[in-house]
Structures are given as C-alpha cells and as structure tokens.
Amino acid sequence: MFTMPIVNLEEHARQLGDSGKRVSVLWQHSESIGFIARGREYRSEFHINPSDEVMYMIKGTMNLHYRTPDGREEIATIPEKAAIFTPAGIPHSPRFPPDAFALITERRRREGEVDQFLWYCLKCDALLHNERFIVSDYTADPVSKAYARFFENETFRTCKSCGEVMPPG
C-alpha cells in the first residue's frame, strides 16, 4: 500500500546535516521525485534536467547560476523560505553553503532521458566537459558521481581553447 509521506522539512534537514550526506530522497515514485539537498562547499557545473524543477530554500540562501539561451551566465538569489521554478532544459547551478538546505521536486526521468552536467572554463568561458548519463535512481546521488568523474580527470578540466586547467574541487 502506498503511503503519502509527511515530512518535517527542518527536522529532516537537520538529520541530513548530521549524517554528512549531500542528499536525502524523501520519495521517488512513478512521476515524482522529492529530496532535500545540502549545499556543497564547491559547485561549478551547470545541470540540464530533462524535467521542470522546483527548489524551495528550507534554510539559508541559494545563488542559482543559470545560462540564458544566448549563453550568458546570470544569477537568481533565492532567500530562505522562498522557491524558484526552473523549466526543463535550462542549464543551472544551485550554489549554497553546506549549512543550507533545499527541498527539490522534479519529475522522475522517463525511459531514455539523459541528464547533463556542463563545466565551463573559468578563464574564457569555453565548454570544458559535458557529463551525460541516465538517472534511474536518485538515491545513487548522481551529482556526486558526475563530480568525481570530472575532477578525477585532468583532461576534462583542461580548456581546449585557452589551456587553463580548472583546479580539483
């Protein structure tokens, strides 16, 4: 039998912080994913999600870096207790400290849908690397796996345009 989860967001965020983990999946059902994310000390990639996404700041402030259709980087600031809607396909990078927490809801991936993580050169803004994969289970923490693959490979972190090497995160 399916039960509808009722979650005390502040308590769950505190437990996530105490655990040292980055993500706690609250539910993952046929059409919906809900999870609490803890900020990372360093985040530099832009995620392209194949579904719409809603981010609600439980605690702290988020600077949501995103890329406009013409490629410019912009920043939307989401204060505590506020939410933002991010449409599918918008490259975005939620940046907030490890003592801040966000509730994220999005559509569960459909068969064959691909998530992308893009890194850009800090010096010339050229694309460094595009990490693509299918997210079938969000409890596997795909963001951490994408980061590990990127930062463990100096070739991925080396700009083909200007030669700048992004330092390991």
pLDDT of residue 1: 60
Q: What is the pTM of this model?
A: 0.90
Q: Check residue 99 and report its DSSP letter.
A: T
Read off the pLDDT of residues 21-68 as tens digits, 9 standing for 90 and up. 989 999 988 889 999 999 987 888 999 999 999 999 999 999 999 999
Condensed to tens digits (0 to 9), the pLDDT of residues 120-130 reads 999 999 999 99
Rounded Cα gap, residues 80 and 88, in angstroms? 23
What are residue 30's phi and psi, to 5 degrees?
Answer: -50, -40
Alpha-carbon separation of residue 82 from 15, 21, 25, 86 (angstroms): 21, 23, 20, 13
User: Locate tokens 């600031």: which residue?
Assistant: 77
* 3-state secondary structure labels for all residues of 19-34: HCCCEEEEEECCCCEE
